[in-house]
A and B are shown apart, each in its own frame.
Chain A
Amino acid sequence: MSRIVVHGLEKSYGDARVLERVNVTAEAGEFLSLVGASGCGKSTFLRILLGQEQQSSGVVIVGDGPIVPEPTPQRGIVFQRYSVFPHLTAMQNLLLVEDFRSGGPFGRVFGARRRKARQEAEAMLARVGLAHARDLYPASLSGGMQQRLAIAQTLLGRPQILLLDEPFGALDPGIRVEMHDLLTELWTEHGMTVVMVTHDIGEAFKLGTRVLVFDKVRHDPQFPSAYGATITYDLRLDRKTRASSHHLAKVAAMVGTTRPETAMATTAS
């Protein structure tokens, strides 16, 4: 629903440069998968899009204007961990969205609006298959259920852009496939722009409409942190190329972590 334009983005921590010369334009409704070796800055890039961190230089435009340098309801986020509020039950976690949005100084809505929010939350719980867990605290939910709750909560916030930071990284393979289907369905329903960071190349190819590879192109053997990573490969996928083993192998070689066969299996699932 909202486009993202990044031009000449650079990010350094002191002397260490993490990202450099990052240019990318994502149209509204695209699903971007970001892959790359560990520590190559793809999560940093996501945190910049979230507003948790600021770029050292360059332009980031989200929607109609420059990015607001703090997290806002325009951009929703699901982290790998700590994504739901442990002191609230599943239901309360979802109600919190409306409470924050229009609860005023008490951070709580009352009366008819609360009833409406409750209905909406019930529907969303049922949608992600958590209706039976509405009164449980996150500590007694499994990892997959927690992530489903986190996604439901984020979607209730109606973000224009959904940011996912390795959302399924801590889940079992079987649960992961389930979550892929759920996410694909929800993305089709809501049509927001999605940016997902993942270690799993198969997942990147399966879910994304576009795969971006982050890597370092310049190396200084005397001072390894002199140069940062940039986008080295930008692959648009359609139905035909989606499962192309050629592309998969190429990206797997660039990232250098996952074996192509496992990635193929994930993509096919």
Chain B
Amino acid sequence: MLVKGMSARDEASETGGEGTTRPSRPRPKVRLRMINAKVSRGSALFLGGLPFLFVAIVYLIASAQRLAVNPSDKLLPSPAQMWSAFLDLATVPDRRSGDLILWVDTYASLLRLFAGVGVATFAALSLGIAIGFIPRVRAFLLPFVTVVCVIPPLALLPILFIALGLGETAKITLIAVGVAPVMVRDIANRVMELPSELVAKAQTLGGNSWTMVLRLVLPQVMPRLITCVRLALGPAWLFLIAAEAIASTEGLGYRIFLVRRYLSMDVILPYVAWITLLAVITDWLLVRLSQAMSPWAHPLEAR
């Protein structure tokens, strides 16, 4: 009873799966609207991989063509050249300082990044909750935070270098100042969006302002805070690399801008890929952290 329009695979799965006792109802193949067509796991993986593959292939072709014309071309190095340059930086101690450059750079950069984002996160949590939850603090600080939000952080960089010197403090401050105001506003908004019913209910159960912060507001904003950090990490990397490019003696951004003078694309490209990898791993860890800390906010993943 093969029905016209029904594929052979559908037929096989329906008769094979449920047995012959239940008459399999033929489902006519319907052409769904684009917005309703579901994507299977396999094809999602394939589709997601396509752009990466496309970029890689375009690069390989372009690189091979240039290298064929001029084997000492520096602009589009081959994967082998990039790998050996990257391996050198990762495993061979620097002749002058004796350091393994990649790891020194990574350590220095991540320390700055996490210190800056950590300070910003703490500010977002404490100020955001205070502004969102306590009307008096909101009246006091919200206009100020709103104004600070629109100052371009990179314009503050010279000021920070002049005021705080060229050391770590200025770089960490730049990252913190750059991402904190937006995070504070976001958390404050989230707190203000808490249903007034929940706040009223907590009060009828005997909560005071402080215990409500601990038991109601803090757990409720935690998923949002982690999302905030994930979004803030993008700008944070930007500020980190900008600060390192201008005044630093080690760091991922410093290295990229240093070797730019020698057109060392074989170092720059792997470094960019390395930074991307670090960012992706951080993001993934934050998602896992959110799932572990607030399972209630991720009902689908928990299932």
Contact = CB atoms under 8 A, between A and B. Distances in A.
B216 A85 contact: yes
A140 interface: yes
Nearest to B203: A71
Determine chain A's interface SS by DSSP, over half rule: loop
Nearest to B297: A87
Contacts of A140: 299
A256 to B, nearest CB: 28
Interface stretch (B207-215, B230-238, B254-262, B282-290): B207-215
Contacts of A79: 197, 201
Q: How large is the interface on A (under 10, 10 to 19, 20 to 34, 35 or more residues)?
A: 35 or more
B176 to A, nearest CB: 28
Given A100-B215, A107-B211, A137 B295 contact: yes
Interface string B265-303: 000000000000000000000000000001111010000
B78 interface: no
Contacts of A111: none
Interface in A35-50: 50
A86 B296 contact: yes
A266 to B, nearest CB: 26
B198 interface: yes
A72 B203 contact: yes
A108 to B, nearest CB: 8
A76 B296 CA distance: 25
Point out which of B196, B201, B202 has the most chain A C-beta atoms below 10 A from its C-beta: B201
B207 A159 contact: no
Contacts of A108: 215
B106 interface: no
A87 B220 contact: yes
Contacts of A50: 200, 204
Contacts of B202: 85, 100
B200 A81 contact: no
A87 B219 CA distance: 7
Q: How large is the interface on B (under 10, 10 to 19, 20 to 34, 35 or more residues)?
A: 20 to 34
B206 A101 contact: yes
Contacts of A70: 203
Contacts of B295: 137
B205 interface: yes
B205 A73 contact: yes
A105 interface: yes
A8 B243 CA distance: 67
B195 A82 contact: yes
Contact of A107 (B214, B220, B294, B299): B214
Point out which of B200, B205, B211, B215 has the most chain A C-beta atoms below 10 A from its C-beta: B205
A14 B103 CA distance: 65
A85 B211 CA distance: 14
A139 B299 contact: yes
A52 B296 CA distance: 28
Contacts of A105: 210-211
Contact of B204 (A75, A81, A87): A75
Nearest to A156: B205
A105 B214 CA distance: 9
Interface of B: 195-198, 200-207, 210-212, 214-216, 219-220, 294-297, 299
Which 9 A-B residue pairs are closest in the complex by CB-CB distance? A107-B211, A71-B203, A82-B197, A82-B195, A100-B206, A101-B206, A100-B207, A137-B296, A107-B215
15 contacts: A50-B204, A71-B201, A77-B204, A82-B197, A82-B198, A85-B201, A87-B220, A87-B294, A87-B297, A97-B205, A100-B206, A108-B215, A137-B299, A154-B204, A157-B204
Given A73-B205, A82-B195, A100-B211, 12 more contacts: A81-B197, A82-B197, A96-B215, A97-B205, A97-B206, A99-B211, A100-B207, A103-B211, A106-B211, A107-B215, A139-B296, A153-B205
